[in-house]
Structure 1
Amino acid sequence: MNFLSFMVYCIIVTFTPGPSNIMILSTVHNYGKNRAIEFVIGASIGFSIMIGISAVLNTFLVAVVPKIIGIMQIIGSLYMLYLAYKIYHMDVKSAENSKVVSVKFGFIMQLINPKVILFTMTVIPSFVLPYYNAWPQILGFALLISAIGCAAFLSWVAFGMLIQKHLEKHRKLANTLMSLFLVYSAIMVSGILS
């Protein structure tokens, strides 16, 4: 397993602006950090549940259909390339503010967030299952991914104002670098270099 590619993928996908992170940033600006932390609690629980479901479902699929790993690696690589494209062309200003901020809303948002759904469906089969099949190992990676997701959410709370200013000032450079890191991860996961 290329642990560096795994970490780069997890960090870029969870730390880059998406529906949840934009919502957190908006909440910090409009309602303060305490309300944003409420949202983060729900989002972290929802994200962890989605990772757990992915680990169980994908492990079952790999046991039933062993050749699915290659297919999932290709799907994961294509998704990463799609994310790289979207990040490169990202417009943070287009996010809408929401007045509904709660633990429940943070939780529900993770269950319907396309970025989270696609990420959780690709990270375990692309990076973990080709190399590990014991439940303690899979659980360990699921917990690590959940911790990275929670850290990403909290970083948007803690550094919301600072991040927003830097993204506005250097948006194109930041988006270009994050996109290039995702392209690197997609190449490593695809298996073309193997």
Structure 2
Amino acid sequence: MNTASFLLYCFIVTFTPGPTNIMILSTLKSSGTRQALRYVYGATLAFGLLLVLSAMLNTALATILPRLLPVMRVLGTLYMLYLTYKILQNGHEKDTSETTGSLRAGFLMQFLNPKVVLFTATVIPSFVLPYYTSVHSVVWAVASVTLIGSLAFASWLGFGTLFKTFLQKHDTATKLVMALLLLYATAMIWI
């Protein structure tokens, strides 16, 4: 296995903007660090679970995933459009931080996030299983990738905390940029 390529792929995919990272920033801005941290916990748990499922079911996924992708595209698109709406409405409705910035929301987002689903479905079978099949090796790989994902989520949380005052000062522009980035991520599902 080319460890450098594996790690580079993991870091690029997890640290670049995507629906989960944008929602972490949005939750942090609207509900604070504590609520965003709950979201990060949920996202990390689901991320690790998806990696475990991928490692355990990689052969089944190879036959099921092509049939499941159209459904995931539609569900993921609808959910991401809903999140875009929530970002734009944040502050104009009742406080929704308990539902959009919760551990459960972070957990569920991962299963509807096409970027995460495709990444977790491909990283272990592509980089690890062709070279290592022992349980110990696969567990190490899953734990390593989960740690990298957790660090990515934590970095978005940390930088969001540092820039929270700036983000709140420019609330309308921040919401618009986050909504546009989420719409861009949604459009990328179909390209």
TM-score of the pair, normalised by structure 2: 0.65
Q: Distance in 2 between matches of 1:95 and 1:120?
A: 27
Q: Distance in 1 between matches of 2:26 and 2:16?
A: 15
Q: Distance in 1 between matches of 2:133 and 2:38?
A: 35
Question: 1:39: Cα distance to partner?
Answer: 0.3
Which residue of structure 2 lines up, in the alignment, with residue 137 of structure 1? Answer: 137
**2:130 aligned counterpart, secondary structure:** coil
Question: 1:161: Cα distance to partner?
Answer: 5.7
Which residue of structure 2 lines up, in the alignment, with residue 115 of structure 1? Answer: 115
Moved over 3 A (4+): 161-165
Which residue of structure 2 lines up, in the alignment, with residue 29 of structure 1? Answer: 29
Q: Which amino acid aligns with 1:136?
A: H
**1:159 aligned counterpart, secondary structure:** helix
Q: Is the 8 A contact 1:50 1:120 kept in 2?
A: yes
Question: 1:61: Cα distance to partner?
Answer: 5.3
User: Using a 3 Å threshold, how does the CA distance of structure 1 residues 46 and 125 change in structure 2: closer, same or farther?
Assistant: same
Cα deviation 1:99-122 (Å, max 9, x = unaligned): 321001100111111011000111
Cα deviation 1:50-91 (Å, max 9, x = unaligned): 000000011x559xxxxx7xxxxxx9xxxxxxxxxxxxxxxx
**1:42 aligned counterpart, secondary structure:** helix
Q: Which amino acid aligns with 1:157?
A: L
- In the alignment of these two chains, the number of paired residues is 137
User: Using a 3 Å threshold, how does the CA distance of structure 1 residues 116 and 138 change in structure 2: closer, same or farther?
Assistant: same
> Is residue 2:128 matched to residue 1:128?
yes
Q: Is the 8 A contact 1:156 1:163 kept in 2?
A: no
Q: Distance in 1 between matches of 2:161 and 2:85?
A: 15
Q: Which amino acid aligns with 1:129?
A: L
Map 1:86-165; keep pairs closer than 5 Å: 97=87, 99=96, 100-160=100-160
- Bigger shift: residues 16-25 or 99-108: 99-108
Q: Which amino acid aligns with 2:37?
A: I
**1:132 aligned counterpart, secondary structure:** coil
**1:4 aligned counterpart, secondary structure:** helix
Question: 1:136: Cα distance to partner?
Answer: 0.7
Q: Which amino acid aligns with 2:122?
A: T
Q: Which amino acid aligns with 2:17?
A: P
Question: 1:95: Cα distance to partner?
Answer: 8.8
Q: Which amino acid aligns with 1:10?
A: C
Q: Which amino acid aligns with 1:14?
A: T
RMSD (Å), alpha carbons:
2.7
Q: Give unpaired runs (5+ residues) of structure 2.
A: 67-83, 91-95, 167-173, 175-191
Question: 1:96: Cα distance to partner?
Answer: 5.9
Question: 1:160: Cα distance to partner?
Answer: 1.8
Q: Distance in 1 between matches of 2:160 and 2:86?
A: 16
Q: Is the 8 A contact 2:33 2:161 kept in 1?
A: no
Question: 1:125: Cα distance to partner?
Answer: 1.2
- Bigger shift: residues 140-149 or 24-33: 24-33
